[in-house]
A and B are shown apart, each in its own frame.
Chain A
Amino acid sequence: MTVATQAAPAAAQEQEMLISGSEAIAEALTLADIDVVTAYPIRPYDTVMQAIAKKIANGQLVAEYIVAEGEHSQFEIVKHASTVGARVFCGSSGVGWAYAMECLVVTPALRVPLVAMVGNRALDDPGAFGVEHNDALFVRDLGWLLCWIDSSQEALDTTLIAYRVAEDRRIFLPIAISADGAFLTHSQAITKVPSKSLVEKFLPPYNRGDLQLHPDNPITVAPQVNEDWVIEIRRQNNAATERAYTVIEEAYADFRRVFGRGPENPWFEEYMTEDAEVILMGMGTLSLPVKVAIRKMREEGKKVGLIRLRWFRPFPYEQLAEALRKAKAIGVIDRDYSFGSPFGSGVVATEVRAALYNAEHRPPLIGFICGLGGREVTLEDVYKTTEICYSAAKAGKTERATYWLGVRE
């Protein structure tokens, strides 16, 4: 899948490390030379905050490290730091992210290029810290750019790309990088870490231009407005989000040029989809059991493939419609819920269904709610989704639009 566009001089400038997804993010933050980071512990996000603290303590990173008294302040502080021109990082999980909501809402409107890590976690109650994607999805309609990562390598690479995209003057929007709690935040894998000089070729300094709060540039940020102004501000946000399609493609292309690796398609990873009759879809680390199951099913002659979404906002609806063009059935595995939604589907299934509405070819689409609260998505679960998809492909329609899998019943 990884195709270098030119011979990679980069290899020599990268070293291998055995690190977790959270530690990979901390490596990227060090390479990006962030200025201000705020912290407030909540599992599993706390792994990244500890990794950054270690970097600073070791003298590898010089940055303001502010432990806030809660997530609300945590996100508020970085928002303000960013408006004066600081490169900032922040993060949280589950209900901590929810507690910061008031600040999360205004961050895109103020065009603050905050990069945040969401260690995906179920929303209490009941007290739980396993993965669910509903926390990050809170902000899906508000102008945040959202992506999901799948490996330590992708964590590091995506963090660098996120700064490049967020701080692009055409964008100036916050990006939340979602990492599945436990599977990514607490497991270490071999990761290539580039040199600082290589990163500098890819990531220019943050320049806030005429939006920077500075005595030489006297501006007022966020005055009170009424109905005569708000829709214009939303329209601006929408334009920036639409520009993100281009800017993200550019950033990935440049990443490949500088580092000699990285995906051709920024939007999603395609695994064995070329001839696939059934295409399974999902976000984050559930790709692992799905890929294993696909390899086993391929041995039995079943043509199954996977599309793992990287970017959820902006949603790559055109690219997906094209990629799903030849499928006979689609099974979307959601690690989230959306109670009372159309067909009772999860969020991703609902979005994919909407993306295909205008498509010429609309194969049966079945939603699967699976792996909630950090429950493992098993090979059996994947076999079952495939089986259901195959019978839908055969019938040309879906008997049921949504299934819950792995539930005791």
Chain B
Amino acid sequence: MAHLIAEVVYRGIFQKNLAARITRGIVLSARKAGRWGIAFGRYGDSPQRNGVPAKDFAIVADTKEELEQHMARYQPKELHVTICVDDTLCKGVESWAWYGLQPINRLLLPNGHLLVTSTQSADELLKDAHKKNTPYSLWILPGKASLAGLWVYKEDHTEVRVLGALAKIAPQILSLQAVAEAIREADWGSDLKVESARKAYERVEGRAVKITEGNPETPYSFEMPKWWEMREGVTIPSLPIGKPIEGGKGYRPERSTVFKKFSTRTMRPVIDFDTCVKCTLCWLQCPDSCFDVTPEGLYDANMESCCGCGICEAVCPVGNCITMVNEAAFDNNASQWDMWRKDKDAYKVWLGAKITDKVHVARSHGFRYRGQYEQELASGELELGGAALASGIPGENADQKGLKPSAHEDKSSSIVTGVAEAPGG
């Protein structure tokens, strides 16, 4: 009797098809050894929305009866493997429903496995992933977050690389040979993809995580009210209007205390307060009322409520005032304005490091112009999801910023240092 329960934590739209391919791949690979399985998505999620964290699941078992015993309709209670296909989700998962923030490793069984596709080190990821009261293993498959899963699937081999890595993690259920066979039979399979899976099998590396390791923060939670505690008439309090701060010189809008949105974020705005011309455009255009007005008339993006849409950067008329930077470059949601106010020189150094860090800036949270994805793939290693994008998102002020779409072309070969990988060499 053996069974395996795995989840894929992914980002809405960008990775929807990717997650479905991985969970289907798990079931079809396990089937090669005569096992039974199901693959399904969490119905309460909203994977049609950009970047919103969502989950797919795969459950496989030796017999149909054993499978039924472990089947769940919405979400399994515990898992052997969590697969995280965007390392910024290690900061936690807030579903579209109001569950509070779930640690990425929340559902893992003792000695379970967390597999992350990432260019970060284990130590860096453990600054994000919350502490867990049982030990588990953290596996890293080198690669950046795949953006392959839009409505039309673009191949970057992430799905087969994850399946190859799983064969290393759970060989008793998924042999590498079975994975290879399933990939070859898939209508999206190829010999090249089998090769990518084998390389991933070799390349994935794991290490034990102790109960003392991890982000010590307690993730915010939300207690579900009883039926008789809820206001009747499908009625909830609206957000009140905001309050003046700093003796009336500044202003802070009220924000939801139960739905924070920031786990949707893959990039965050980094603000150079010294170049800000106080035009108010970021504050006006932000769809989530993220910006506090500071006493100086500057605008401080609140990182608890920012979903990282990038509109502020796009509308900012100043060249280097707002820069979207990969969320992976940050370990907390602290106020940038507070940092700037306390030590302007230190802030300048911090800011410079963030916006010039090519590894971390190299991120897109969607495609801003036609052909961007092809451009990325063409300029980097296919199995790692292509190469870096230059910083900046072209918006209505792209011209002033020198950010025409063509300016995004990046000739560097890979964001990952080290030996080039298959395919092709």
Contact = CB atoms under 8 A, between A and B. Distances in A.
A220 B97 contact: no
Nearest to B96: A226
Interface residues on A, range: 20 to 34
Nearest to B95: A226
Given A218-B238, A218-B240, A236 B232 contact: yes
Contact of B233 (A110, A218, A227): A110
Contacts of A228: 44, 97-99, 224
Contacts of A210: 231, 235
Contacts of B227: 231-233, 235-236
A240 B235 contact: no
A110 B233 CA distance: 4
A3 interface: no
Contact of A222 (B74, B228, B234): B234
B237 A211 contact: no
B370 interface: no
B234 A227 contact: no
Contacts of B96: 226
Given A228-B97, A236-B227, A223 B234 contact: yes
B226 interface: yes
A110 B237 contact: no
A154 to B, nearest CB: 30
A239 B238 CA distance: 25
Given A226-B44, A228-B44, A221 B74 contact: no
B369 interface: no
With a 10 A CB-CB cut-off, give which of B74, B225, B233, B239 has the most chain A CB atoms. B233
A95 interface: no
B350 interface: no
A290 B225 CA distance: 52
B99 to A, nearest CB: 8
A232 B235 contact: no
Interface in B215-237: 224-228, 230-237
Majority secondary structure of chain B interface residues (helix, strand, loop or mixed):
loop
B153 interface: no
Contact of A219 (B74, B99, B237): B237
Contact of B230 (A112, A223, A227, A236): A236
Contact of B232 (A223, A225, A231, A240): A240
B235 A220 contact: yes
Contacts of A239: 228
Nearest to A111: B233
Interface string B66-108: 0000000010000000000000000000001111000000000
B81 to A, nearest CB: 25
A227 B98 CA distance: 11
Contact of B238 (A109, A112, A172, A219): A219
Nearest to A221: B235
With a 10 A CB-CB cut-off, give which of A111, A221, A228, A231 has the most chain B CB atoms. A228
Interface in B91-131: 96-99
A223 to B, nearest CB: 6
B231 A211 contact: yes
Contacts of A229: 230
Nearest to B234: A222
Interface in A325-356: none
Contacts of A111: 232-234
A343 B43 CA distance: 39
Given A226-B44, A227-B43, A228-B98, A233 B234 contact: yes
B61 to A, nearest CB: 25
B235 A227 contact: no
A227 B224 CA distance: 12
With a 10 A CB-CB cut-off, give which of B43, B74, B238 has the most chain A CB atoms. B238
Nearest to A223: B236
Contacts of B235: 110, 210-211, 219-221
Interface string B44-59: 1000000000000000
A271 B238 CA distance: 53
Interface string A298-325: 0000000000000000000000000000
A226 B97 contact: yes
Given A109-B233, A210-B231, 15 more contacts: A111-B232, A172-B233, A210-B235, A211-B231, A211-B233, A211-B235, A218-B238, A219-B235, A219-B237, A220-B236, A220-B237, A227-B44, A228-B97, A228-B99, A236-B228
Interface of B: 43-44, 74, 96-99, 224-228, 230-240
